[in-house]
Amino acid sequence: MELTGWRLLALAAPALLGGYALATASGIFLVGLLPVPLGEAVLAGNLLGFACYAVAVIWVFALRRPVRAWLQLLLASGILAASGLLLRGQLL
């Protein structure tokens, strides 16, 4: 089974778009988590978000199941972003 054509695209989409969502969401979560002034926390969130992006891309390709990857990444992103905003009191 070669990793080409549609199979590649089907994985690239969740890796790039889902990974982007996860990176942003984990950045937002980190801001909520860190007990430091807001500007500093946002800086830290931005700093570490890219590591999550790379991990997400690798995760999707290790999983090799586009639909499941989409679901997992979007679900995780939603939970992370929401809890980050909740922790900083932005949703209430």
Binding site residues, other proteins, CB under 8 A: 1, 3, 8, 12, 16, 23-24, 27-28, 31, 36-47, 49-51, 53-54, 57-58, 61-62, 64-68, 81, 84-85, 88, 90
C-alpha closest to that of 26 among 46, 5, 6: 46
Q: How far apart are CA 84 and CA 64, in angstroms?
A: 29
Closest contact distance (angstroms) between CB of 24 and other proteins is: 5
Closest contact distance (angstroms) between CB of 43 and other proteins is: 4
| Dihedral of alpha carbons 80, 83, 87, 92, sign | positive
Closest contact distance (angstroms) between CB of 55 and other proteins is: 8
Most distant CA atoms of the chain, gap in Å: 50
